[in-house]
């Protein structure tokens, strides 16, 4: 412990066994096709073809930035301007991607130069390239050591602490949205469902959030208002999945999802269900009284130590107001080794000198000021939002490097441009409406 604030640059917790975690294999992600990304000014002379791969549910392509030769990911946001709701959602995501500055949160490195506004239909965002994600890693046969689990969980919570400090609820934390590169660096991605927290408890929030297996009990029970604790619930489910290599609560329906949760945690108290809708409460009270069966978590794997299960049980708390926060979870002793490993050989915030490692003064930084979503209040028509987004992208590029655009002569351009992603049908299923 005591790792939060090292008092000097001397290594606070140098440990002989600490080293970079074993590399994660990222085989199987490649679908070789060709795609070209060109700086606008060099369009005519440069004809550099690069590979691209499909490694995400949204079209996320691996391309080479011709300005510096670095491999980056290109994310296409299609059909942006179909209606006001999709415009606003995409603009919010775009603003967030440009706002984030944290190593465990995916951010926009660049946005491709938009065409004239009359032809402006899609937005292309350049992000850092990540080879895999936690879902692919969990279902793969490659072994995951307890070091892997600790360093992944540490980074998830580190990123989440930052997001929550920005006032942002991710609302769809799941293994597929946690990108991982071969050095085991992890970044939270996909902010399509993210929003700013609602502090006014009388305001209703949409329940169309969170993939069912990772959905918090308060959402399953129809609470009209929820907090960033829903993200922590998802992290708890993922923690258990990392340990057990299988989905913790894999139900066929939202009701069964809730039943699996109460099988583990026992019947919740009335106090813990105070925000639930009447129908959901009636369902729980009608059923048999269940005793908690938390010791079963020790059987997840041999890595489910006392410390691991203790932290897990602080995340999988039925009552959201009693669930641990990302900040407090990071102070749990289970994560000390993950922090040590991350900052000894994986982070960008500390550095090595000939006399040793110089550690940052803040291992888990937050953001100040918060993300400001007041811009959304004045968005009233598709045309207006389109103009604002167009202007926003041009402003992002001001003073920046040479703007990038897609080369329409590229062989794969047509298939790329016609691909569609993340339509409403692919959104998480709606929760049950309790009658
Ligand atoms: Zn560091």
Instruction: Give the CATH number of the domain where residue 172 resides.
Output: 1.10.510.10
Separation of CA 357 and ligand 1 centre (Å): 10
Residue in 110, 172, 190, 231 annotated catalytic: 172
Q: Are 155 and 97 in the same domain? A: no
Report DSSP letters for 251-290, one per residue.
-SSHHHHHHHHHHHH-SPPTTTTTTS-HHHHHHHHHS---
Q: Are 212 and 331 in the same domain? A: yes
Q: Are 65 and 86 in the same domain? A: yes
Q: Are 293 and 180 in the same domain? A: yes
0.85 surpassed by pTM: no
Separation of CA 257 and ligand 1 centre (Å): 38
Report DSSP letters for 348-379, one per residue.
SS-EEETTEEE--S-SS---SSPPP-GGGGG-
Least confident of 20-29, 39-48, 248-257, 370-379: 39-48
pLDDT digits (tens, 9 = 90+) for 153-180: 999 999 999 999 999 999 999 999 999 9
Q: Is 172 a catalytic residue?
A: yes
Q: Are 66 and 36 in the same domain? A: yes
Confidence class for position 419, pLDDT limits 50, 70, 90 = low
Residue 88 lies in a domain: yes
What is the average per-residue pLDDT within 74-89? 87
Separation of CA 335 and ligand 1 centre (Å): 15
Residue 246 lies in a domain: yes
What gap in Å lies between CA 104 and CA 155, rounded to an integer?
Answer: 6
Residue 70 lies in a domain: yes
Q: Take residue 284 and report the two structure tokens written for it.
A: 């729980």
- Give the residue numbers spanning the domain of 69: 24-42+59-129+377-426
Separation of CA 347 and ligand 1 centre (Å): 5
Separation of CA 123 and ligand 1 centre (Å): 33
More confident residue, 263 or 66: 263
Q: Are 274 and 184 in the same domain? A: yes
Report the chain's mean pLDDT, rounded to a whole number.
Answer: 82
* Predicted pLDDT at 235: 98
Q: Are 405 and 349 in the same domain? A: no
* Predicted pLDDT at 418: 55
Q: Take residue 43 and report the two structure tokens written for it.
A: 């369009």
Separation of CA 212 and ligand 1 centre (Å): 34
Domain count, the chain: 2
Residue 291 lies in a domain: yes
């Amino acid at each position: 412990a005591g790792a939060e604030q090292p008092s000097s640059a001397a290594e606070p917790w140098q440990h002989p066994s600490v080293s970079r975690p074993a590399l994660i294999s990222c085989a199987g992600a490649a679908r070789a096709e060709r795609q070209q990304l060109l700086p606008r000014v060099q369009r005519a002379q440069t004809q550099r073809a690069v590979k691209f791969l499909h490694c995400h549910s949204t079209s996320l392509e691996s391309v080479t930035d011709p300005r510096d030769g670095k491999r980056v990911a290109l994310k296409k946001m299609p059909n942006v301007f179909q209606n006001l709701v999709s415009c606003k959602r995409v603009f919010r995501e775009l603003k967030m991607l440009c706002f984030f500055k944290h190593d465990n949160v995916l951010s926009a490195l660049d946005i491709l130069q938009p065409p004239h506004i009359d032809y402006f239909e899609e937005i292309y965002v350049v992000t850092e390239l990540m080879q895999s994600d936690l879902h692919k890693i969990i279902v793969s046969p490659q072994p995951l050591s307890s070091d892997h689990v600790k360093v992944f969980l540490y980074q998830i919570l580190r990123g989440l602490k930052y997001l929550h400090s920005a006032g942002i609820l991710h609302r769809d934390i799941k293994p597929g949205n946690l990108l991982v590169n071969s050095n085991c660096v992890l970044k939270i991605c996909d902010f399509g469902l993210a929003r700013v927290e609602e502090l006014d408890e009388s305001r209703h929030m949409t329940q169309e959030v969170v993939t069912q297996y990772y959905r918090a009990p308060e959402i399953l029970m129809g609470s009209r208002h929820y907090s960033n604790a829903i993200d922590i619930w998802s992290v708890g489910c993922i923690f258990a999945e990392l340990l057990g290599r299988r989905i913790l609560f894999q139900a066929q329906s939202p009701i069964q999802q809730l039943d699996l949760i109460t099988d583990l945690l026992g019947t919740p108290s009335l106090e813990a269900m105070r925000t639930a809708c009447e129908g959901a409460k009636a369902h729980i009270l009608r059923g048999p009284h269940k005793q908690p069966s938390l010791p079963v978590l020790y059987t997840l794997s041999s890595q489910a130590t006392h410390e691991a299960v203790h932290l897990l049980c602080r995340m999988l708390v039925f009552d959201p107001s009693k669930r641990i926060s990302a900040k407090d979870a990071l102070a749990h002793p289970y994560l000390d080794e993950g922090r040590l490993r991350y900052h000894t050989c994986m982070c960008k915030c500390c550095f090595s000198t000939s006399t040793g490692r110089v550690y940052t003064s803040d291992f888990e930084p937050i953001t100040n000021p918060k993300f400001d979503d007041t811009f959304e209040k004045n968005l009233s028509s598709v045309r207006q939002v389109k103009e604002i987004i167009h202007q926003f992208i041009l402003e992002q590029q001001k003073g920046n490097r040479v703007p990038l655009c897609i080369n329409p002569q590229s062989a794969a351009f047509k298939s790329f441009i016609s691909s569609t992603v993340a339509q409403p049908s692919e959104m998480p299923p709606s929760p049950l409406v309790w009658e």
